């Protein structure tokens, strides 16, 4: 046999052996996973809505998988710091990201990113989805959307809205409101919902478009006033609170979501096991009740469906970013 044929034959045998070894390694990893604690990176501070969702999901996943899930709060840069950390992590299923609407928004908002929401991660499942609620400091002289618009127009550049950070849904939902209502409320970004809400309650800022999960307890306690929800229909968690659209700003709608992602390249069997575990967790009545009481719906998706959902969100929010003129270098 000619030397070149021998070389080709040897190369083919080596390639086949390597592929077989990798397949065995992947299958073995999936079989033994998880063999140690898993880190769930929450890209926001403790106490905010994303952190609350993360802790509920972490507890449920830990019980189903029989392994400890450690919450690692890595806040900053509109969720980018935590996302970049996970994107650079080993794709072994031991470092996960609690992704949010912001990670779809950031694709068009931030000029400089070191990750791509659709390419740097393996989608696992949606976790929760729900409306935002416009909350105001109790002494704000506006009790509904019509009065808020009138007040803002009478004080152009004076009324302020807090957000959980530049480019978050809590920011762009208000930017969309400004655009559609013709108002000029000023954006005041914070490093998460918890400190933002604290300043609204303290009167340092006027209003906030926040998740119901973190805001409604303060509304019920009389520390905030709910003006409207941002969904197309009223929320079962607060049926007495009208929608923005029915209150005079027709066509307005904005929702927030949380989902689970792993680094790109994570073995498919590991992603599938995570997906299967989440289906159990999100189907539990106690978990559904915890989210429903605060305006979120627990919603499971297959990895494939969640990937398509994220792609649609990236496209949708890119239009909002362009219309708002917002950009961050």
The Cα 304–Cα 101 span in angstroms is: 18
Question: pTM score > 0.85 for this model?
Answer: no
Last residue of some domain: 207, 229, 247? 247
Last residue of some domain: 247, 274, 309? 247
Q: What is the mean pLDDT of the chain?
A: 90
Per the domain annotation, does 291 fall within a domain?
yes
* Packing angle of the helix pair 101-109, 169-181 (nearest 10 deg): 70
Same domain, 317 and 224: no
Total domains in the chain come to: 2
Same domain, 220 and 298: no
Cis bond upstream, residue 34 (ω within 30): yes
Per-residue pLDDT at 325: 75
3-state secondary structure of 8: helix
Per-residue pLDDT at 6: 56
Same domain, 119 and 264: yes
Same domain, 109 and 90: yes
Per the domain annotation, does 19 fall within a domain?
no
Domain residues for 104? Answer: 30-130+257-324
Residue 225 or residue 32, greater confidence:
225
Q: How large is the average pLDDT for residues 279-301?
A: 92
Torsion of CA 260, 257, 206, 175, to 10 degrees: 110
Per the domain annotation, does 146 fall within a domain?
yes
Per-residue pLDDT at 20: 52
In this structure, the strands spanning 38-42 and 69-73 are: parallel
Same domain, 114 and 261: yes
Same domain, 266 and 125: yes
Last residue of some domain: 205, 221, 247? 247
pLDDT, tens digit (0-9, with 9 covering 90-100), for 86-134 = 999 999 999 999 999 999 999 999 988 899 999 999 999 999 999 999 9
Per the domain annotation, does 4 fall within a domain?
no
* Band of residue 230 on the pLDDT scale cut at 50, 70, 90: very high
Q: Taking the alpha carbons of 238, 244, 246, 247 in that order, is the dihedral positive or negative? A: positive
Same domain, 54 and 34: yes
210: domain CATH number?
3.40.190.10
88: domain CATH number?
3.40.190.150
Q: How large is the average pLDDT for residues 257-271?
A: 97
Report H helices in 164-300: 169-181, 193-202, 212-220, 268-282, 285-292
Same domain, 170 and 222: yes
Please list the helix, strand and coil fractions of the chain in percent, rounded to the nearest 5, in that order: 50, 20, 35
Same domain, 35 and 175: no
Percentage of the chain lying above the pLDDT 90 cut: 70
């Amino acid at each position: 046999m000619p030397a070149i044929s021998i070389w080709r034959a040897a190369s083919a045998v080596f390639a086949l052996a390597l592929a077989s070894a990798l397949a065995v390694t992947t299958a073995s990893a999936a079989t033994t996973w998880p063999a140690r604690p898993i880190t769930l990176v929450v890209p926001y501070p403790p106490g905010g809505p994303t952190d609350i969702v993360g802790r509920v999901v972490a507890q449920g996943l830990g019980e189903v998988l029989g392994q400890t899930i450690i919450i690692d709060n890595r806040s900053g840069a509109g969720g980018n710091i935590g996302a970049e950390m996970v994107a650079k992590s080993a794709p072994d299923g031991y470092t996960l990201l609690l992704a949010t609407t912001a990670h779809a928004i950031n694709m068009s908002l931030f000029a400089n990113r070191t990750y791509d929401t659709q390419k740097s991660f393996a989608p696992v499942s949606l976790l929760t989805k729900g409306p935002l609620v416009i909350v105001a400091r109790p002494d704000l002289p506006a009790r509904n959307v019509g009065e808020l618009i009138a007040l803002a127009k009478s004080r152009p550049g004076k009324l302020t809205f807090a957000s959980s950070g530049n480019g978050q849904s809590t920011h762009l939902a208000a930017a969309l409101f400004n655009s559609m209502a013709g108002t000029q409320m000023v954006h005041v970004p914070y490093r998460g919902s918890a400190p933002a809400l604290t300043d609204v309650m303290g009167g340092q800022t006027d209003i906030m478009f926040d998740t119901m999960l973190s805001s409604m307890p303060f509304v019920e306690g009389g520390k905030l006033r709910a003006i409207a929800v941002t969904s197309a229909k009223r929320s079962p968690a607060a049926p007495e609170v009208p929608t923005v659209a029915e209150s005079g700003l027709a066509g307005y709608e904005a929702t927030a979501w949380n989902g689970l992602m792993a680094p790109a390249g994570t073995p498919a069997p590991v992603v599938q096991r995570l997906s299967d575990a989440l289906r159990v967790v999100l189907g539990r009545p106690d978990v559904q009740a915890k989210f429903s009481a605060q305006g979120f719906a627990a919603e499971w998706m297959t990895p494939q469906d969640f990937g398509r959902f994220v792609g649609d969100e990236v496209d949708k929010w890119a239009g909002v970013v362009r219309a708002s003129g917002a950009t961050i270098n």
